Structure 1
Amino acid sequence: MASDTSTALKVVNFALFQAGWLACVLLTNAWAVAIAIGVVAFHLAVVSVRPAAEARFILLGVVLGSLLDGLWFSTGMIEDGAGSTWTPLWLTAIWALFMTTLAHSLAWMHQRIWLPFVFAPVAGPLAYLAASKLDAVTLPANTVSIAALAVGWLVIFPLLMTIQKRRFAETLA
């Protein structure tokens, strides 16, 4: 029974992330941020096993992820319709949504040390490419932008997984 509940909560986590991501890339405004905050709050109240610890982990990931996206915006690897030179709030909100998945629907990534290194440089850039197809962002340098995203995700995702395992292990319960 506990396994069924755990699986159901992982499915809820995955669905909430996908819905929140889509809302953010379609809206790219304050409504997107409000929706993401609501999704994260719901996640912490209903899905999270250790809400306080997970909230701290989410905050850390939001800071690190936003710094990485800020680097890409400031160097022109990513652009948006608003002419942002740093990470827009709706994209920061996506980092919060993404961070909710690491202890839940993406927890399986902790099973093999090599998985984040294979998964991240492919899946990370694909999310930005999908956002570009929905006109949330553009990747002006095309192949160079995708390569920069792949390198960034090759670093950030395993780093986040390592930090979670070493400093926020209780969120993996």
Structure 2
Amino acid sequence: MKNTAVLKVANFAWFQGIWWLVILFQNNAVIPVLALIGGWILISPKRTEDIKLMSAVFLLGTVVDAVLTVCGLFVFNQTEVLVSFWPIPIWLSLLWAAFAGTVYHSLTAFKGRMVIAAIAGAVFAPLSYIAGAKFGAVELGTSVLRAYIFIALVWSVIFPLCFYLSNRFEAKQAQA
């Protein structure tokens, strides 16, 4: 499959489907989300890069959201933690991996535009978390305004970092 408008739209729809699955069904969405991630990897024209970036962002996002949880910004019900040693619900870590699956595809408009990526991350990522809270997937441990500010600060770094990592993985793949 070539990186065309159809691929971008399919990738965007794929991620939105995963977002809705995890927000509405949390732990009950884990198996379908794993299947969707596996399906994407099978059809991706950048399979190797996607796997590397999805793995890195899966871990990075888990650490980031674990820190925000420990700091009290996010509150999860203990029944949401499916794996006892994992610091956040696994569905949230999988959402990070799925997000990384959009970087080479539907989010290419941000590639090489780190300032725009920082602004977009600061504006849109908090809205996603707040929407998740409105649907009951997470509880905010502070006011919506404070949560927005903290998440905006974090994502103004995380979103450009994802593109930095994608460039590194792409460059290494080109050298191979």
Q: TM-score, normalised by structure 2?
A: 0.87
Match of 2:29? Answer: 32
Give 1:74's match in structure 2, choosing from 52, 64, 70: 70
Match of 1:62? Answer: 58
What do you get for the CA RMSD once the two structures are aligned?
A: 2.1
8 Å contact 1:73–1:84 — kept in the other structure? no
What CA distance in whole angstroms lies between the structure 2 residues aligned with 1:64 and 1:6?
29
Q: The residue matched to 1:101 in structure 2 has which SS?
A: coil
Point out where structure 2 has 5 or more consecutive residues left out of the alignment.
82-86
8 Å contact 1:139–1:146 — kept in the other structure? no
Give 1:44's match in structure 2, choosing from 41, 45, 58: 41
Q: TM-score, normalised by structure 1?
A: 0.88
Q: Determine if the alignment matches structure 1 residue 6 to structure 2 residue 7.
A: no
8 Å contact 1:110–1:161 — kept in the other structure? yes
What CA distance in whole angstroms lies between the structure 2 residues aligned with 1:118 and 1:33?
30
Correspondence 1:78-157 to 2 at 5 A: 78-82=74-78, 86-142=87-143, 143-157=145-159
What CA distance in whole angstroms lies between the structure 1 residues aligned with 2:114 and 2:71?
31
Superposed CA offset, 1:95-143 (max 9, x none): 1111111000001111423211110011111100110111101112112
What CA distance in whole angstroms lies between the structure 2 residues aligned with 1:157 and 1:113?
8
What CA distance in whole angstroms lies between the structure 1 residues aligned with 2:68 and 2:112?
30
Seen in structure 2, the aligned counterparts of structure 1 residues 101 and 61 have a Cα distance that, compared at 3 Å, is: same
Q: The residue matched to 2:101 in structure 1 has which SS?
A: helix
CA apart distance, 1:39:
1.1
What CA distance in whole angstroms lies between the structure 2 residues aligned with 1:23 and 1:36?
8
CA apart distance, 1:83:
6.9
Q: The residue matched to 1:168 in structure 2 has which SS?
A: helix
What CA distance in whole angstroms lies between the structure 1 residues aligned with 2:79 and 2:38?
30
AA matched with 2:74: I
